[in-house]
Chain A
Amino acid sequence: MPNLKDLKNRIASVKSTRKITKAMQLVAAAKLRRAQDAAEASRPYTERFNAVMAGLASGAAGSPSAPKLLSGTGSDNVHLLVVMTAERGLCGGFNGNIAKLAKTHAAKLLAAGKTVKIVTVGKKGRDAMKRDLGDHFVGHVDLTEVKRVGYVDAQNIAKDVLARFDGGEFDVATIFFARFENVVTQHPTALQVIPAQFEADESAEAPLYDYEPSEEEILADLLPRGVATQIFAALLENAASEQGARMSAMDNATRNAGEMIDDLTIVYNRSRQAVITNELIEIISGAEAL
């Protein structure tokens, strides 16, 4: 039977934990709104970009002179996995889910005899994958200092990836991130960025464009930017997902803490009553003995 002082301390400690989780939940809610706004603001660009790229790509896909970023290197032996996670924990299964998806993907590729190289974005993903796949790490991008992901961050990651591609380090690049659906659901997603795949919108009939300079030159100019655009969109989705996951995780934690406080308070009250009863019995039996 725990003594009263211990119980009291325990209750006080759970109470302060609840205060912290509550505060984190509120902060996550505010950040989530900002992250969603940022994702919203980037959508017109991404959508238009992909639409134009889809049109260009479908025209160039068949030709033998198509850029490597579109047609691939001709083999798929070396895979680069760009795993994007958060810099911080305490956000439920967010980091774990992305890492798990990437791990399964890597295991499948390794089983098929392919070479896997991994670039991690965000500290938590690196930590989660270090034990199993640490030998495959080729790079890490630290965003700890970045308060709000900007296009520049995406460009830097893209630059790194493209430099490796130009250097012949890999054939296929896939990015891993969590697509934001709502506060409680985020879907870990794998998206192949090199060779580029664009979903062509068949319903909209594209007018026949004049291209200035030539179609090939535009494609060559835009494909690297497309990688940056996709990475940027993924980073924004990730940022929103992270805050959403943290919000619901902290909401759960706050509720659990509340339940725990209620339980502990009942135990505390019972024990106190037991102590009082005991004392009374002692006094009464003492008096009777006289």
Chain B
Amino acid sequence: MANLQFDLVSPERRLASLEASAVQIPGADGDLTAMADHAPTITTLRPGVLSVTHSGGVDDYIVIGGFAEITQTGVSVLAERALPKAEVTQEMYDGLMAEAKEAHATAQEIFKNEPGPVDDAAKLISDMVAIGGHIGLTASN
């Protein structure tokens, strides 16, 4: 089966650049898996787990914010924050959780009568919880 070129970059560094057979992307509208000859697509990301299947196994990354560009021959993921799953510690996760909750609290304060931003922030929290469930860390209250 044909492979595709996978690149994962964050503003601070290039995390991965390899040949992959399939890339599972947490798109804003739902997960999607890109394989070779996928229709060219650009999708924004929700915070979630990106998993890359390549000849050496499967790599998981936590990605937050940004977008993915899928072409027929490759996938470039530009994440505002990206971390290999193994590097995420409970502490870091707690920090991210706290950030999400803070965003939710400020959104509630500023946009009292507008549901949009508050819902977005609430969704951010649930996304974070979902990440925690996936990588085996628990969200502390």
Contact = CB atoms under 8 A, between A and B. Distances in A.
A208 B72 CA distance: 11
Given A225-B66, A229-B11, A212 B76 contact: no
Interface in A37-69: 38, 41-42, 44-46, 48-49, 52, 56
A51 to B, nearest CB: 9
Contact of B27 (A209, A212, A222): A212
B40 interface: yes
A48 B41 contact: no
B14 interface: yes
A276 interface: no
B9 interface: yes
Contact of B41 (A49, A151, A211): A211
B28 A213 contact: yes
B127 to A, nearest CB: 15
A44 B80 contact: no
* B contacts with A: majority SS: strand
B65 A225 contact: yes
B41 A45 contact: no
Indicate the member of A42, A154, A212, A225 with the most B CB atoms within 10 Å: A212
Contacts of B13: 41-42
A94 B85 CA distance: 41
Contact of B42 (A38, A46, A155, A212): A212
Nearest to A208: B40
A217 B116 CA distance: 14
A207 B40 CA distance: 7
Contact of A207 (B10, B27, B71, B81): B71
Interface in B55-78: 65-67, 69, 71-72, 76, 78
A49 B11 CA distance: 10
A221 B80 CA distance: 12
B78 A212 contact: no
A288 interface: no
A97 B28 CA distance: 44
A42 B78 CA distance: 11
Interface in B14-63: 14, 27-29, 32, 39-44
A134 interface: no
B41 A212 contact: yes
Interface of B: 7, 9-14, 27-29, 32, 39-44, 65-67, 69, 71-72, 76, 78, 80-81
10 contacts: A42-B11, A48-B7, A48-B78, A150-B12, A209-B42, A211-B41, A212-B41, A212-B43, A213-B43, A218-B67
